[in-house]
Every structure is written in C-alpha cells, then in structure tokens.
Chains A and B, each alone.
Chain A
Amino acid sequence: DAKTTQPNSMESNEEEPVHLPCNHSTISGTDYIHWYRQLPSQGPEYVIHGLTSNVNNRMASLAIAEDRKSSTLILHRATLRDAAVYYCILRANQAGTALIFGKGTTLSVSS
C-alpha cells in the first residue's frame, strides 16, 4: 500500500469544525482512501472511506483532492468524544488485505 503523511497532532475547541489533512502523493488509481480512529483504551473504528468523490456519513465528511494526492477528514462539530488518534490509510483493491497503520494524528478537543 502507498504511504500517507499526517500531522502528528492537532487541537480543536468543542463545537468547532476540524479539518484533518492527509497527503498520499503516491496513491495509485485503484487505491481507496480509508479513515479510522482510535479512542483511548479502545480498538480502532472505521470512520469513512472514498475513491474519487467527496463522501458524507453520520460521523464525518471526506474531501478528496481532484488529483487524489491528498484528502481531508472533516468533523463538522467537534465534541470531547472525538478526541482520538485518526488514521488515514490507503487500501489496494485486493481481497482480504490487512490495514497498514501509520502514526496517525492525535486530535485533542477542549471545552
């Protein structure tokens, strides 16, 4: 899987939007962009994924650059419960592939 680059940490205030960036300049045409997050003392959980178009779900939005070399996870209104490590992962289109986790971005949310 191609490599991703994320900032080590970010801070936000409660109720404000948060934009978490991810660079993946070596992404291939069939790689999907996945985001997972890991809350303290829990296993990772799926957040969202996309291929080319922007995606929305109940947790977040994913904005994908036109050249697909970067993407941004958007939390529209951060809550204290969103404090977690956020991982941006590229997945090749192969059956049964494991996730390759980088260091992720540690998001802190203040009240």
Chain B
Amino acid sequence: DVKVTQSSRYLVKRTGEKVFLECVQDMDHENMFWYRQDPGLGLRLIYFSYDVKMKEKGDIPEGYSVSREKKERFSLILESASTNQTSMYLCASSSGGAGARNTQYFGPGTRLTVL
C-alpha cells in the first residue's frame, strides 16, 4: 500500500520560531509537493520538487523554503513563523513522466498553529 507520512499531525509553535515540517514517501516517486489548506481558500500549492535538490515555487512561496536532499524526503521550512501561517499543511507525491495520468498521493496533513 502506498504511503506518504508527515512528521506530526498537530504542531504548536510561537511567532518567530523556525519550523520544520517533514514528509516521507515510500513509493520512489520523483515529484513531491507541499500545499496548505485554509477554510474558504481550498488547497494552494507552496512548493514542489521534481527531483532531488530541485525545487519550484508554487502559488504562495513567500515565507517558506524547502529542502530535498533525498528522493523520499521533502521538507517544508518556515524560516520565522507568523500567525498567518497557521494552517493545515499537506504533502503529496507522484511518479514522474506525463503528469496528466499521474495520481498524487497525499499524507494525512499537519495542523500547525502559530501563537
């Protein structure tokens, strides 16, 4: 069974802290994605990576950075957490090649609260 795991289901941090969200997939997928989900705004893409050490900005990259040192792991970093980054963060992965047919597999999400 395919699996995407995220390091925490719930996280509470203080304003100004550096926050690391980890995502690991066991499907040998080339592509990995970070989304955030907010009520009324749906899911929005923050960053994605199509290979190790490669990254591309999504729709809302400001205030975030990412790291992909190994194929199976994609980290989202909040350099200095702010209250407007309180959200549900979802990681996903998909295999490479023609994108239209490739299913994305999502992790369970991390609900981050920044106080």
Contact = CB atoms under 8 A, between A and B. Distances in A.
Contact of B45 (A46, A91, A98, A103): A98
Contacts of A97: 99-100
B101 interface: yes
Nearest to A32: B100
Given A96-B50, A98-B45, A98-B58, A31 B100 contact: yes
Given A96-B31, A96-B50, A98-B33, A44 B43 contact: yes
Chain A interface main SS type: loop
B16 interface: no
A32 B104 CA distance: 14
Interface residues of A, number: 25
A102 B105 CA distance: 18
Contacts of A42: 108-109
B74 interface: no
Contacts of A104: 42
A95 B45 contact: no
A95 B90 contact: no
Contacts of B107: 43
A30 B109 contact: no
A91 B42 contact: no
A3 B31 CA distance: 23
Nearest to A103: B42
Nearest to B49: A96
B43 A99 contact: yes
Nearest to B6: A43
Contact of B50 (A95, A99, A100): A95
B48 A98 contact: yes
B22 interface: no
A46 B105 contact: yes
A43 B106 contact: yes
Contacts of A41: 109
Contacts of B103: 46, 49
Interface of B: 4, 30-31, 33, 35, 42-45, 48, 50, 58, 90, 92, 94, 96-101, 103-109
Interface of A: 30-32, 36, 41-46, 49, 91-104
